[in-house]
A and B are shown apart, each in its own frame.
Chain A
Amino acid sequence: MKRLELPDTEWRRVSPKLVVVDLVGALVFLLATAAGAVVFWLLLDVLWLAIVLAALAICGLVNLILVPRRVRAIGYQLREDDLLFRRGIMWQRFVAVPYGRMQLVDINRGPIARGLGLSELKFVTAAASAGVTIPGLLEADADALRDHLVDVAESRRAGL
């Protein structure tokens, strides 16, 4: 089964250090659910809740294993007049947003990402569902990208 690919597209990838950030998140989830399952099974003897938590823990484990691939699947491209963004392996998603549609750009840094010098850039348009959020950019790259986006949006300004 061939995955979805756009023709003639050179993707810019995000920093591999993002793997660490996502791994920590996935690991916390895994440990919390696993510990909960053990507690409910051995100490409190609530078997059904233990099974639910164990199932969640297994999902967490699968998630953990897939993290590196998922990070590698994230990509973006600055085309002449729009920003192209992709993410996902199983559930793939491609979005194209014209620069002129930009309402604002957000840069967020979580605690772990900040430790690794990473930023997350969010491109906000008037449509709530666009959801273009590029994680795992190096701080300098994110700032440069933000300034670039603001510049090109200004020169290609469109109304709502």
Chain B
Amino acid sequence: MTESSGAALPSNAPQQGVSSARPVVRLTDGEWHRLHPVSPLLKGGFFLIVILGWVVANLRERIAAIFIPQYDREGNPIDYIVSHGYIIQALLIIVGVLIVLIGVFYVSWRMHTFRITDEVVEVRSGVFVRTNRKARLDRIQGINIVRPLVARLFGAAKLEINQAGHDANVNLSYLGSGAADDLRREILRLASGTHAAAAPAAATAGDTVIDRRVNEFLAPLQDTTTPPESIVKIHLGRLIGSMILGTGSTFMLLIIAGIVVWISITGNFFALVIAFPSVLGFGSYYVRRFSKSLRYSISGTPDGVRVGFGLLSTTNETLPPGRIHSVEVFQPLFWRPFGWWEVRVNRASHSRTRGADNQANTTLLPVGNIAEVTKVLELLLPDLVGEDSVAMIERGLRSRGGDDGFTNSPLRAAWLRPLSWRRNGFLVTPGSFVLRKGAVWRRFIVVPQPRLQSVAIEQGPVLRMLRLVDVHLHTVHGPIRAHLDVVDQDAAIAFFDTVATAAVAAGQRDTSHRWREGDAPA
């Protein structure tokens, strides 16, 4: 894969027309561009320098002995160098090492180029092993801008273009902070198929470099041209409360209870040693969940849903329309008195940057009340709008069952679902398939019709005796499994038929891979 891609270029000189990544340069003009100059440092250069410094500090006697054979490893090597007149040689060695390091960084920076055309984004990198990755724009599943703390200090950001599949992302690390925002907007514009003209590149306000940095640092979650207002605000108290009462805490309580019982029975404190790793695990779980939910924001833009979070290291992702394969609203048991819910999604791409629940950015609302959940669902599923939908979501979340629009399981299902059979039901809305289940751990699952991959019904011997059927809606892999157990047999067969027909029709109508195709030129 050395220069085979060069054939597609107008000339065979790959370095021709390469320009450095700056906001003033249009990055989507189809030419090759370079990343931010501090990229090699941010991507591991600091680490290398720290390691090198540590090695030198610890082994300076030995290093001196290697270069100066007369040196007998007695006394301070620096005094020895000074007193014996080796200063010039020592300085030369240091300068040589520095030049080699800078050279390596420079070459790796220079060899790492990218370009964005109307159809594809392409990245070439590597010095000895050349890599070339090309991704189609209309297959983009999401664009993530990650700003780790150190990178933010340098005004740099990492742009992750997520594609479907395992490890299929195109990473541009790092770009200038403003350039990353501009580039994302431009890529989404190209991918959306709209004919609207490009918005002028916006510069971050501020006269000096310092001012610009400070402004970027203080407003990292905002796009400079369309500052979206978050539709949900998570208060710190609610966030902490939700973590204390969450599923993780339930497990932790069980483990603590188990240990207490164990110690009181055996009088042996050895159990504490065993428990220690799990305490560490829970600690990191809480820290991660907490830090990833701080300054959480979710908002709608013309190019999809934008989700941002993080206090020191920030992440800000745009999910274009039609990239959400299913949505689940879930309520852990102890959240019920407070009316809190969590919203998760299944999506085709698996970002390397992990989200709030140690999942691959699948938690779209860490905690929210029913009004906020409704707002988020309306954002994620544009088909669910209007009074009817609000009432349907409300029933889907809180109803105990009965005659409420859903097709619920019959009484004989109580043999298998003694608590939840009343609530266990499905519904077909104009754009989605809706499942509702669970009386203790309440779940509400929505699968957009154009995203359904296939549908299955299953029946084992016990279910056959009760004339019940399990229904599975297959979507891409993720935290949500959209299946509904113990459905009445006749209802399930009718549902199977409806779903199969509707999924085909919706799949053919769907144009979300070019979501703004119909827009008029501006």
Residues B460 and A90 in contact, CB atoms below 8 Å apart:
yes
Residues B493 and A6 in contact, CB atoms below 8 Å apart:
yes
- Closest Cβ of chain A: how far from B445's Cβ, in Å? 15
- Closest Cβ of chain B: how far from A121's Cβ, in Å? 15
Residues A7 and B513 in contact, CB atoms below 8 Å apart:
no
Residues B454 and A96 in contact, CB atoms below 8 Å apart:
yes
- Closest Cβ of chain A: how far from B493's Cβ, in Å? 6
Choose from A84, A90, A126 the contact partner of B164 (Cβ within 8 Å): A126
- Closest Cβ of chain A: how far from B429's Cβ, in Å? 19
Choose from B464, B512, B513 the contact partner of A4 (Cβ within 8 Å): B464
A60 to B325, CA, bound (A): 41
Residues B465 and A1 in contact, CB atoms below 8 Å apart:
yes
Residues A127 and B477 in contact, CB atoms below 8 Å apart:
yes
Q: Which residues of B contact A93 (CB under 8 A)?
A: 456-458
0/1 per residue, B491-504, Cβ < 8 Å to A? 00100110110011
Choose from A1, A6, A101, A159 the contact partner of B322 (Cβ within 8 Å): A159
**B295 proximal to A (CB < 8 A):** no
Q: Would A92 and B459 be within 8 Å (CB), given that A125-B454, A158-B450 are in contact?
A: yes
**B489 proximal to A (CB < 8 A):** yes
Q: Which residues of A contact B512 (CB under 8 A)?
A: 159
A94 to B489, CA, bound (A): 13
Q: Which residues of A contact B475 (CB under 8 A)?
A: 127
Q: Which residues of B contact A159 (CB under 8 A)?
A: 322, 450, 510, 512-513
**B453 proximal to A (CB < 8 A):** yes
Q: Which residues of B contact A160 (CB under 8 A)?
A: 139, 141, 164, 325, 348, 451, 476
Residues A98 and B504 in contact, CB atoms below 8 Å apart:
yes
Q: Which residues of A contact B453 (CB under 8 A)?
A: 97, 101, 125-127, 130
Residues B454 and A7 in contact, CB atoms below 8 Å apart:
no
Interface centre among B450, B451, B507, B512 (most CB of A within 10 A): B507
**A156 proximal to B (CB < 8 A):** yes
Q: Would A158 and B510 be within 8 Å (CB), given that A1-B465, A126-B348, A127-B475 are in contact?
A: yes
A124 to B186, CA, bound (A): 34
**B264 proximal to A (CB < 8 A):** no
Residues B472 and A98 in contact, CB atoms below 8 Å apart:
no
- Closest Cβ of chain A: how far from B454's Cβ, in Å? 4
Residues A82 and B477 in contact, CB atoms below 8 Å apart:
no
Residues B454 and A100 in contact, CB atoms below 8 Å apart:
no
* Closest A residue by C-beta to B138: A159
0/1 per residue, A1-37, Cβ < 8 Å to B? 1011011000000000000000000000000000000
- Closest Cβ of chain A: how far from B137's Cβ, in Å? 13
**B352 proximal to A (CB < 8 A):** no
* Closest A residue by C-beta to B323: A160
A92 to B463, CA, bound (A): 11
Residues B454 and A98 in contact, CB atoms below 8 Å apart:
yes
**A95 proximal to B (CB < 8 A):** yes
- Which B residues between 107 and 143 are near A, CB-CB below 8 angstroms? 139, 141
A3 to B455, CA, bound (A): 19
- Which B residues between 341 and 363 are near A, CB-CB below 8 angstroms? 348
0/1 per residue, B431-457, Cβ < 8 Å to A? 000000000000000000011011111
Residues A95 and B451 in contact, CB atoms below 8 Å apart:
no
**B469 proximal to A (CB < 8 A):** yes
Choose from A7, A97, A128, A158 the contact partner of B477 (Cβ within 8 Å): A128
**B461 proximal to A (CB < 8 A):** yes
Interface centre among B451, B504, B510, B512 (most CB of A within 10 A): B504
Q: Which residues of B contact A96 (CB under 8 A)?
A: 454-456, 496, 499-500
- Closest Cβ of chain A: how far from B179's Cβ, in Å? 29
Residues A82 and B504 in contact, CB atoms below 8 Å apart:
yes
- Closest Cβ of chain A: how far from B348's Cβ, in Å? 5
- Closest Cβ of chain A: how far from B167's Cβ, in Å? 16
Interface centre among A3, A98, A101 (most CB of B within 10 A): A98
Q: Which residues of A contact B398 (CB under 8 A)?
A: none
A59 to B460, CA, bound (A): 18
* Closest A residue by C-beta to B348: A160
Q: Would A130 and B474 be within 8 Å (CB), given that A91-B458, A101-B454, A160-B451 are in contact?
A: yes
Residues A125 and B508 in contact, CB atoms below 8 Å apart:
no
Q: Which residues of B contact A94 (CB under 8 A)?
A: 456-458, 496
* Closest B residue by C-beta to A91: B460
Interface centre among B325, B454, B472, B513 (most CB of A within 10 A): B454
A126 to B508, CA, bound (A): 17
- Which A residues between 125 and 156 are near B, CB-CB below 8 angstroms? 125-130, 132, 156
A1 to B465, CA, bound (A): 7
Give A residues with C-beta under 8 Å from B.
1, 3-4, 6-7, 81-82, 84, 90-98, 100-101, 125-130, 132, 156, 158-160
Some 21 contacts from A to B, beta carbons below 8 A apart, are A1-B465, A3-B464, A4-B469, A6-B493, A7-B493, A91-B458, A91-B459, A91-B460, A91-B461, A93-B458, A95-B455, A96-B456, A98-B503, A100-B504, A125-B454, A126-B453, A127-B453, A127-B477, A130-B456, A158-B450, A159-B513
In the complex, besides A4-B489, A95-B455, A98-B507, 7 extra interface pairs with C-beta distance below 8 angstroms are: A6-B493, A91-B458, A91-B459, A91-B460, A95-B454, A96-B496, A96-B499
List of 3 A-B pairs having minimum Cβ-Cβ separation, nearest first: A127-B453, A127-B474, A158-B507
